[in-house]
Amino acid sequence: MSFIRTLLRHTAHNKLLLTGFLLSIFIEVAYFVAAPLSLKYLVDKAFMPKDFQMFLMILGVLFVSGLIYICAGTFGDYALGRLSGDVIRTLRTKLFTHVQRQSFSFFQHYKLGDLVTRFSADMSSLESVIRHSSPLLLKETLNIVLGLVMLALIEWKLTLAVLAGTVLMFVGPKWLQSRAEKEQTAYKQAQEQFSNTIDEMVKGYKTIRGLHQQSRFRERAGKQIQDLFSFGLKLHMTGSLMERLPLAALLVLNGTMIGFGGYLIFHDEMTVGDFMAFLTLFMFVGQSGSHLTALLPHFVESRVSFNRIGEILDHEPEVSEPPNPAELPKSIRSIRMEQVTFGYTEESTQLSDVSLEIAAGSYVAFVGPSGSGKSTALQLLSRFYDPKQGAVSINDCDLRTVSEASLRQTSALVTQEAFLFNTTIRDNLLLDNTQATEADMVEAAKQANIHRMIESWPEGYDTPVYHEGGSLSGGERQRLSLARALLRNPRILLLDEVTSALDPVTEADINELIVRLRSRMTIVSVTHRLASAMNADHIYVFENGRIVESGTHQELLREHGLYFRLWEKQHGFHLSRDGLHATVDGERLAKLPFFQGMELPLLHNIASLFSTETSKEGDTIVSEGEAGNKFYIIVRGKFEILKHLPGQGEVRVAVLQDGDHFGEIALLNNVPRNATVKALCPSVLLSVRQEAFQHLISAYPQILTVLQSTLQQRM
């Protein structure tokens, strides 16, 4: 078993303790095996001839060897504790460090529950086998071997008969082993799935309650608990069969031994003392045999656990530290992507032949439609992935040759998620930054416009954060994660949609901060909102994984290309500072296909028919199949369009963002929604009801014609 090999490998370095432990086991076993022999001598040499001196001598020997046995056992327990603790500590550390080294794809493949189960349930089963089952295995095997030798010394013929029957004890468990392994694997998988559900239930508790999804989750958990019950029952039954079959074999053996032993006594080939010693020793060996088989289910479980942990340890990170990593210089000249092609999987391509150069100290924006590859390009700049072809470099230094520590000191990434640790605000800001003073921390918080807010909390910088930042607002979280990045004083600041989920005031604030920072560091910002990018020194426009345009805001507008079209789409909306009230210009409405050619005064009237709606992440705006009675324009936010496709279930078919519209088909009578629309972040919409539109349609039949042709295209 490779598990035993691993065990030996991890304990071999502590030779003295290991030898002491093995010796203690040997003494224990020798005592147990030899003790029944005392019966033979007591009966044949002391009791039968009534030799009191011999009796005292045997008693003395028993007492001294009992004392040695107790001392050896105590030392053995200590040695085992140290050795097994050491193995588990090494394995836990190895697993943790290995998981930490992994690339993003690993965390996409393994869910939280998968990993937690491996760190907890699987490690515990290994721990129990290392601490209890392995030493028992050793002891019981030695018991059997030594016991059999002793039995042979007492009466070899009887021993041979018994030995032949012993084979029976191991046939059943061997036969059941592969079944037990399969059941164990199924049980562990069910544990993982249940852990994943608990994880979602805790993290998504607001969404679950908000959307009243408790019963769906209860149903899912109920099914998983039922699976745990069924797999657990099967496992229990197989385990108990593995223990019971050898016991049945033992009963047969007992009968054989008493029968054959009796025959030998009646024919004077064995003394009564020999028989009693044989019987006691045989009971003892039999007990060891059944202990051994009782250990089998634990070994099966630990083997499955060991393989599951091994699967993680065998997973090599795709992005690894080079053997002799280079350090990035203090001053940065440029960041380059040269003919970069990249795909998240072997088969897919998310970036094709992307080349760009970012001068040190400049502020660069990546813009483009959803899914065009902006964030992917940023992740390559952070070396969360390596390109399939081409190179990403800083100062002509390929990132694949640079040490991770040096890269992370040079650049800091802030993402939309703004993850915070469950500790105080101070610890969240400082992390391991021992060089930053209290004044530095306050300065960074001031720059990110969060200092006053922190000070207004009763515990100030010592305020604890709960639920990974869920106890704070999105804006507070984002400002804190910006302050954290600034405190590290990076030379390159990478921002991934940092303002997309924020209210207009916070967004404007953060955009101002970026403008202030641009002289101090190189900034690369991914955003789908062009108003946030217009101040950039240079803008790269992505479409289908390629850079299709680049230049300043003005240059790009003059090109009348994709950027211009996106700008036109996002322009013409007004949002109040609190983000709760939006309006749209008549000119903007004129760009919608079904309003084209209408006079401006009428469009202004139509604009006044719209009312503002806000939605939270996860809110369903429209549901496939329901009767629709509203048309929507997205003022700001992100929505996914989901459709039920035959054989595939609900599938995301598109993502809509600022300036996009949906639901116009519902403005026709009795047309059900042909897709579900869900908010991916806090969003603001303008909507108009069907009734309000009816008189327009009758006055302007062209609206109806265009809507009908849109409907035909989409069905």
Ligand X SMILES: Nc1ncnc2c1ncn2[C@@H]1O[C@H](COP(=O)(O)OP(=O)(O)OP(=O)(O)O)[C@@H](O)[C@H]1O
Binding site for ligand X (CB under 6 A): 108, 344, 350, 368, 370-376, 528, 542, 655
Q: How far apart are CA 296 and CA 194, in angstroms?
A: 27
Residue 327: CB minimum distance to ligand X, A: 29
Residue 378: CB minimum distance to ligand X, A: 8
* SS3 letters across 469-533: HCCCCHHHHHHHHHHHHHHCCCCEEEEECCCCCCCHHHHHHHHHHHHHHCCCCEEEEECCCHHHH
Residue 427: CB minimum distance to ligand X, A: 29
Residue 420: CB minimum distance to ligand X, A: 21
H helices present in 102-155, as ranges = 104-109, 112-117, 123-128, 134-154
Q: How far apart are CA 587 and CA 608, in angstroms?
A: 13
Q: How far apart are CA 396 and CA 381, in angstroms?
A: 13
Nearer to ligand X, 370 or 708 (CB): 370
Degrees (nearest 5) of the Cα angle 345, 348, 351?
A: 105
Nearer to ligand X, 375 or 393 (CB): 375
Residue 625: CB minimum distance to ligand X, A: 26
- Pairing outcome for strands 334-342 and 638-645: unpaired
Residue 123: CB minimum distance to ligand X, A: 28
Nearer to ligand X, 184 or 411 (CB): 411
- Pairing outcome for strands 522-526 and 363-367: parallel
Residue 618: CB minimum distance to ligand X, A: 16
Cα→Cα distances 60→46, 54, 67, 73, 564, Å: 13, 10, 11, 20, 102
Q: How far apart are CA 336 and CA 359, in angstroms?
A: 9
Cβ(583)–Cβ(607) under 8 Å?
yes
Q: How far apart are CA 23 and CA 500, in angstroms?
A: 67
Residue 652: CB minimum distance to ligand X, A: 9
Nearer to ligand X, 201 or 655 (CB): 655
Residue 506: CB minimum distance to ligand X, A: 19
DSSP-derived 3-state class of residue 350: coil
Nearer to ligand X, 542 or 567 (CB): 542
Residue 105: CB minimum distance to ligand X, A: 7
Nearer to ligand X, 195 or 350 (CB): 350
Nearer to ligand X, 254 or 370 (CB): 370
Rounded CA Rg of the chain: 37
Cα→Cα distances 348→341, 352, 368, Å: 10, 11, 20
Nearer to ligand X, 488 or 638 (CB): 638
Residue 681: CB minimum distance to ligand X, A: 10
Q: How far apart are CA 637 and CA 660, in angstroms?
A: 10
Q: How far apart are CA 220 and CA 513, in angstroms?
A: 45
Nearer to ligand X, 32 or 385 (CB): 385
DSSP-derived 3-state class of residue 355: strand
Nearer to ligand X, 298 or 528 (CB): 528
303: Cβ contacts below 8 Å, ≥ 6 apart: 1, 3, 181
* Phi then psi dihedrals of residue 373, to 5 deg: 110, 10
Nearer to ligand X, 324 or 345 (CB): 345
Residue 369: CB minimum distance to ligand X, A: 7
Residue 83: CB minimum distance to ligand X, A: 42
Residue 247: CB minimum distance to ligand X, A: 54
Nearer to ligand X, 374 or 588 (CB): 374
Cβ(426)–Cβ(462) under 8 Å?
yes
Torsion of CA 152, 157, 162, 164, to 10 degrees: 110
Cβ(656)–Cβ(569) under 8 Å?
no
400: Cβ contacts below 8 Å, ≥ 6 apart: 322, 383, 386, 391
Nearer to ligand X, 188 or 528 (CB): 528
Long-range contacts, stretch 536-539, CB < 8 angstroms, 24+ apart: 536/363, 536/364, 536/365, 537/359, 537/362, 537/363, 537/364, 538/358, 538/362, 538/364, 538/365, 539/364, 539/365, 539/366, 539/367, 539/563
Nearer to ligand X, 195 or 416 (CB): 416
Q: How far apart are CA 664 and CA 594, in angstroms?
A: 9
